[in-house]
Amino acid sequence: MQPITQFYLLAGYFWLAVLCGTAKCTLAPSDHPHKWEKLYLVLEWPVTICKMSDNDCSDPLMYWTIHGLWPDKADECNRTWHFNISEIKDILGDMEQYWPDVIHPNRTVFWRHEWEKHGTCAATLEALNSQKKYFSKALELYKEIDLNSYLTKLGIKPGRTYQMAAIREALESIYQVTPKIQCLPPDEGQLQVIGQIKFCLSKEFALINCTQSKSGSSSAHENNLFRTEDLSKCSDTLTEYPAHMHTWKHFLANTVDI
C-alpha cells in the first residue's frame, strides 16, 4: 500500500471514530463493528426472578413481564449514548406495567442497563435507532405475542407443575416457532422452575425458530442484573410454574398433563 493511501485511510478511520462518538451516528449493518443477526424478546416470570434475588421481593407480579429486547451477538455498542428517561416519558405508563424492575420497584436502573447494554446495539436498525423507538417496539412486540393470555387459554396456570415437553409443544402450537425456555435448575429433591422465555425475531420483527447452544447454557451476553445467568435450558422433565413465594415447595399433587 502506498504511504499516501495509508495516510488517508487512517485519517478516514480517525474522523469516523470522532463522528461516531455522537448518539446519532449509524453505520450500514454490513460495515458495523457490532454485527448481529437476530433479536431476542426476553420475557421473565417475576416469581422466579424474585426467588433468585437476595433482595426483599415478597409480593411479585403474577404476569409475564419484559426482561429485554436483545441483539444476539453484541452488547455495549456505544458507551457514550446514555439513557435519558425524558425520551420515553410518553410511554412510562406501559413501561411501569409491562417492563418493571421486579426487584427494585420505582427505579430506572433496569431500563438504563437495558438501553446501554442492548439498545445501543439494536440501534443499528433504523426501526430501533432511538430510545423511544427501541422501548416502544419492545412493548409492541410484547403485546402482539400476548404470552399471558395464550398460556391462560391453554390452561397453563401458575401454582402447578407441568412436563416441560408439554409446555414447549403448547407454545409451538400457538406461535408456530420454537422459543428458548429457561429454567432455574432444581435443588436436591426439588423440581426445575420455569423462569424465562426468549422469542427469536428476524430484523423484520418476524418470529423465527430459536436454536439452542450446544451447551444449553445462557448466551455470553446474558443479562446478569437479576442473576439470570443462573438460568439454563430447561430439561424435558417435570417443571414448576410457581404462583407465590409461599408456594415454592413443590406439590406433586398439582401435576397437570397438557
Candidates 3.30.1380.10, 3.40.50.300, 3.40.50.880, 3.90.730.10; CATH matching 32-153+195-231: 3.90.730.10
Could you count the other beta carbons within 10 Å of the beta carbon of residue 48?
A: 25
Mean pLDDT of the region 90-108: 91
Kindly report the three-state secondary structure assignment for every residue of 19-57: HCCCCCCCCCCCCCCCCCCCEEEEEECHHHHHHHCCCCC
**Lowest mean pLDDT, pick from 116-125, 184-193, 244-253:** 244-253
Set 44, 114, 116, 240: catalytic member: 114
CA neighbours within 13 Å on the CB side: how many for 7? 3
Residue partners of 115: CB distance under 8 A and separation at least 6: 83, 131, 134, 135
Set 67, 113, 116, 221: catalytic member: 67
Each residue of 3-28: pLDDT tens digit?
Answer: 443 444 344 444 444 444 444 444 44
Asked whether residue 29 carries a pLDDT value surpassing 50, the answer given is no
User: What's the pLDDT band for 107 if we cut at 50, 70, 90?
Assistant: confident
Rounded CA separation 7/5 (Å): 5
User: Is residue 67 annotated as a catalytic residue, yes or no?
Assistant: yes
Set 44, 113, 116, 118: catalytic member: 118
Helix (H) or strand (E) holding 121: helix 120-122
Asked whether residue 54 carries a pLDDT value surpassing 90, the answer given is no
User: Is residue 114 annotated as a catalytic residue, yes or no?
Assistant: yes
Type of residue found at 68:
G
pLDDT value of residue 34? 72
pLDDT value of residue 228? 62
pLDDT value of residue 106? 72
Q: Share the mean pLDDT of the chain.
A: 82
User: Is residue 246 annotated as a catalytic residue, yes or no?
Assistant: no
CB 236 within 8 A of CB 163: yes
| pTM as predicted | 0.79
Could you count the other beta carbons within 10 Å of the beta carbon of residue 157?
A: 13
Rounded CA separation 192/158 (Å): 14
Each residue of 124-159: pLDDT tens digit?
Answer: 999 999 999 999 999 999 999 999 999 999 999 999
Each residue of 222-244: pLDDT tens digit?
Answer: 555 555 678 999 999 999 999 97
